[in-house]
Amino acid sequence: MSQHSADPAPNSAVATVAKRRDWWRDAVIYQVYPRSFADSNGDGMGDLEGVRSRLPYLRDLGVDAVWLSPFYASPQADAGYDVADYRAVDPMFGNLLDADALIRDAHELGLRIIVDLVPNHSSDQHEWFRRAVAEGPGSPLRERYHFRPGTGKNGELPPNDWESIFGGPAWTRVEDGEWYLHLFAPEQPDFNWEHPAVGDEFRSILRFWLDMGVDGFRIDVAHGLVKAEGLPDLGSHDQLKLLGNDVMPFFDQDGVHEIYRQWRKVLDEYAGERVFVAEAWTPTVERTANYVRPDELHQAFNFQYLSTDWDAKELRKVVDLTLEAMRPVGAPATWVLSNHDVTRHATRFANPPGLGTQIRLAGDRELGLRRARAATLLMLALPGSAYIYQGEELGLPDVVDLPDEVRQDPAYFRGAGQDGFRDGCRVPIPWTRTGSSYGFGSGGSWLPQPESWGELSIEAQTGAAGSTLELYRTALAVRREQPDLGAGDSVEWLKAPEGVVAFRRGEFVCVTNTGGESVTTPAHGRLLLASDEIAETDGEMKIPADTTVWWTTA
């Protein structure tokens, strides 16, 4: 495989990006799942000091910003997405001084910090909810959540037919007979965003963390805050299949946009181009574009792209739809292949198409890795911003054979819902070839790592020709150096054989072969990078199956 010869200078390059206006339009942002990134105190759980100690690795990888999944005070019923105190760090991760030190160190290294915000629901141990339950029906605090009387002869049935994303009814009854809404686990009661105190509180929370120096927020369940008036029945017994595919009375209601307009005013009070990123599962990319209008949020994850099978026609279709949807609102496309809620793409692409993002099969791992590498180069070549989930730069697969007794995904414990697949993508990442947790920490890891993890570690792959880690490092360096990569809103599609995606952006050309056989194409100038071994003869290039190639005509 041709190797890019330039040796990136991370300090100067990242510092330059940090000063550039509209940095978020072409930023590569790395998601850290704190409990699985690095453990500083040997308790088997990752923490903020562990993240802080590894920031130089992320700088040298070549990313622009780091998104941290929740580290707030929480009973951990859903891995921190059940927040008891939005202004405190959970002791398992450290304290506010650790958060402050992490933010300061990141900035000194030229990295920006984005933190998760969970505004759809709190923990059932949040002070508001505990008081609401204790004070009983009619309590003013109950109005900050969705408490309702039940249906049936004696109120023994839920107020409506909504189901939890984790399976089972979306309602739980308290001792005094009323029911409360939770679109996720019972430990995660939904806020009532019609109540002004909820909006006041979250604007205050935004300012608290902005004052701490964070550069932005990733908004969890950004599409879920507002519910349809009257909480009407959905009328379906297979609601999980509707998620992200249809209009639902508890997701993607138009009222959410006024909330984000108010939030944008808060963000714009602060210097330094702070940003909002929406986790918004919507039926179409056009609906997603509503979240990134000029007076609302800056980015929205492209879940339509993440869910697309490894198929040239489908990939080209979703790219076109995305760019067309984002162009009228002036927002960048935001590409992503993996995160903490879906099967890693190295495993997803190892299985037959059509299984979705929640598969739990090992598949053909060699095939999956080859496709994942090719998919990454394709993603990084597209106009806009890109997200990397920790460990994907190592080619990590999902761990699909975790023992039942170690699994912690709340969906696993609710039999009518999902099967707890998310634990497989959350196993702590390996740093070294050996050790009780392959360098994650001195005290083992909260989820067991496979014996093969050592050879996938950062230590094993650093400097190894052809390794996935070195491919990522080189790709990010090339992406930064090529003037036609990064921000933009269009591509020029090139004529290509069946199963091949080919496009030009100025003097840059990307060709991806998603088919099962090699194809021969013209060599489009000087070779920059390829995801697998390639051969060039007489001005033509033989591109193997499941391979992406980058050229420049400059």
Burial 30-52 (b: 16+ CB within 10 A, else e): bbbbbbbbbbbeeebbbbbbbbb
Alpha-carbon dihedral of residues 431, 434, 437, 439, nearest 10 degrees?
-30
Q: 384 in helix, strand or coil?
A: coil
Q: How far is the C-alpha of 382 from the C-alpha of 177, rounded, in Å?
A: 53
Secondary structure of 185-246 in HEC code, one letter for each residue = CCCCCEECCCCHHHHHHHHHHHHHHHHHCCCEEEECCCCCCCCCCCCCCCCCCCHHHHCCCC
Q: Where are the beta strands (DSSP E) in 327-461?
A: 334-336, 385-389
Answer whether 296's CB lies under 8 Å from 254's CB: no
Tokens of 424: 């497989």
Spell out the residues 6+ positions from residue 229 whose beta carbon is closer than 8 angstroms to its own. Answer: none
Sign of CA dihedral 518, 520, 525, 526: positive
456: region left, alpha or beta (phi > 0 left; psi from -120 to 50 alpha)? alpha
Which amino acid is residue 295, in one-letter code?
Answer: D
Q: How far is the C-alpha of 67 from the C-alpha of 65, rounded, in Å?
A: 7
Tokens of 224: 């879920």
Tokens of 306: 């993440």
| 14: enclosing H helix or E strand | helix 10-19
Alpha-carbon dihedral of residues 198, 240, 421, 39, nearest 10 degrees?
-10
| Residue with token string 């003097």 | 507
Answer whether 94's CB lies under 8 Å from 60's CB: no
β-strands 500-505, 492-493: how paired?
antiparallel
Catalytic residues: 220, 269
Answer whether 36's CB lies under 8 Å from 429's CB: yes
Q: How many C-beta atoms lie closer than 10 Å to residue 340's C-beta?
A: 17
In terms of Cα–Cα distance, which of 223, 202, 213, 384 is closest to 290?
223
SS3 content of the chain, % helix, strand, coil (to 5): 30, 15, 50
Angle subtended at Cα 69 by Cα 13 and Cα 277, rounded to the nearest 5 degrees: 65
116: β partners: 218
